[in-house]
Amino acid sequence: MEEKKILTQDQAPIYEALERFREMRVVPFDVPGHKRGRGNPELTAFLGEKCVGIDVNSMKPLDNLCHPISVIHDAEVLAAQAFGAAHAFLMVGGTTSAVQSMVLSVCKRGDEIILPRNVHRSVINALVLCGAIPVYINPEIDHHLGISLGMKRSQVAKAIATHPKAVAVLVNNPTYYGICSDLREIVKMAHDANMVCLADEAHGTHFYFGDHMPVSAMAAGADMSAVSMHKSGGSLTQSSFLLIGKNMSEGHVRQIINLTQTTSGSYLLMSSLDLSRRNLALRGREAFHKVSEMCAYAREEVNSIGGYYAYGSELINGDSIYDFDPTKLSIHTRDIGLAGIEVYDLLRDEYDIQIEFGDIGNILAYLSIGDRPQEIERLVCALAEIKRRYKKDPTGLLSQEYIDPEVVVSPQAAFYGEKKSVPLAESIGAICSEFVMCYPPGIPILAPGERITKDILDYILFAKEKGCLLTGPEDALIEQINILK
């Protein structure tokens, strides 16, 4: 009988295997064609020999992402232990691929899935692919801040009662702004109705490694969670984890992942996941405690400027704002007469400060394990100076970030239906057949199958005028839009 391998969180199996491989000095007659960088000297000079030297192909000593049996499998086991999951999958297509695999694992054509409308486009993309039908819960709005909140328990209960054949409930944990729904109770409601509960935790990696944090999806009993390690977890961009609970089939989920994920998994991305998991497992609690302290200090300093509002746990109401992510530095800018995107642009262009995003009323400065207090001071000073130099009368600024959609047909039917292109101004009343969104945050203003209204059109035109990066439509200039014939 084979002895069970004992793994500990101070190990990093993929990283260790790559280090052994580097010492072997293997002659490469396989892909990639740059041959450890020799074939592309400019790339090697840019990234460094150590980096391109481990940009290698799957092989027996390094395992295979599609069917892991050795070092990748061990890395997944360690990740599952660190996150409290039954199993963890290494994802190299970003959290987008994790979210899509999550939805595709439980939904097929015609199935209903209950979800908040302020989801990332990757969720609705998955519905386009599989043909499932969204049952949207329109979140409450904080009308002063202009942001959408979490899902109320009563809204979820009503959706489950009116759609008893739905197969799943999906929850943002947290939203981009840091707002959390009552995840434990929503999981219970879903399970009591024989539905699975899925969590988009693109912005919640640190919930697994911090004291006084909102509850993580796995701790709350959710069935699946997409965790964006490259955001707050410190891994390389495009690397994520997909976590599953004990009631999900590891083999089935692996098959779903392999439908869309590359067969040439990047060892740069996988080793970054491995090392980042080890770092968080060993040092995450201390690191995120410091991040929370920095963020609390930053909120206090920003609010002392006046005009701005850096909001936090004082918003908690026990339902639509059940909890708040203490590492989120979300700042309302509208009261100084500037749209969030205008402050975002000024910070970058005038002060060499790049923040995560700005929309029409708010900005988000993303704080994580790599930040230092001196950068906080620089941001606060820049915000104070922007207020002094650029403050205007806020009259006339749009305030609301979210407009309730009217869903007419399924995303798949609209996306693949017969369509025509019309000028934006002529689209009111028509059914949209593509996406329109500001990116970031990537939450659709319009999704396929939704009716175009004057309010939505006004929002799109205002966002364009203020300089938001609008994406999604076939027409890159966002002057035309595709509608169903």
Is residue 26 pLDDT above 90, yes or no? no
What are the residue ranges of helices labelled H in 352-474? 373-390, 411-416, 454-466
411-484 belongs to which CATH class? alpha beta
Token pair in block for residue 111 = 């199935």
Confidence category of residue 1, pLDDT binned at 50, 70, 90: very low
Q: Supply the pLDDT for residue 195.
A: 98
Residue 244 has φ and ψ, to the nearest 5°, of: -130, 155
Pinpoint the residues of the chain covered by CATH 3.90.1150.10.
285-390
Confidence category of residue 425, pLDDT binned at 50, 70, 90: very high
Place of tokens 């295979």: 64
Q: Percent of the chain, pLDDT > 90?
A: 86
Residue bearing the bigger pLDDT, 404 or 159? 159
Pinpoint the residues of the chain covered by CATH 3.40.640.10.
51-280
- Condensed to tens digits (0 to 9), the pLDDT of residues 49-69 reads 999 999 999 999 999 999 999
Residue 90 has φ and ψ, to the nearest 5°, of: -80, 125
Q: What is the pTM of this model?
A: 0.95
Distance between CA atoms of residues 27 and 214, nearest Å: 50
- Condensed to tens digits (0 to 9), the pLDDT of residues 153-206 reads 999 999 999 999 999 999 999 999 999 999 999 999 999 999 999 999 999 999
Would you list the DSSP string of 334-358?
A: GGGT--HHHHHHHHHHHH----SEE
Q: Supply the pLDDT for residue 185.
A: 98
- Condensed to tens digits (0 to 9), the pLDDT of residues 78-108 reads 999 999 999 999 999 999 999 999 999 999 9
> Exposed, middle or buried, 41 (CB in 10 Å: 0-12/13-18/19+)?
exposed
Is residue 280 pLDDT above 70, yes or no? yes
Distances (CA, A) of 371 to 202, 374, 376: 19, 9, 8
The CATH number fitting domain 285-390, selected from 3.40.50.720, 2.60.40.3500, 3.90.1150.10, 3.30.1340.10: 3.90.1150.10
Pinpoint the residues of the chain covered by CATH 3.90.100.10.
411-484
51-280 belongs to which CATH class? alpha beta
Token pair in block for residue 377 = 């001071």
Q: Are 294 and 302 in contact (CB under 8 A)?
A: no
Is residue 401 pLDDT above 70, yes or no? no
Distances (CA, A) of 443 to 124, 130, 215, 224, 343: 10, 20, 23, 21, 20
Would you list the DSSP string of 314-330?
A: GG--SSTT-EE-TTEEE
Q: Are 135 and 113 in contact (CB under 8 A)?
A: yes
Q: Supply the pLDDT for residue 368.
A: 94
Contacts of 153 (CB under 8 A, 6+ apart): 182, 185, 186, 189, 319
- Condensed to tens digits (0 to 9), the pLDDT of residues 206-241 reads 999 988 899 999 999 999 999 999 999 999 999 999
SS3 481: strand
Q: Supply the pLDDT for residue 395.
A: 87
Confidence category of residue 463, pLDDT binned at 50, 70, 90: confident
Q: Percent of the chain, pLDDT > 70?
A: 99
Distance between CA atoms of residues 276 and 274, nearest Å: 6
Furthest C-alpha separation in the chain: 76
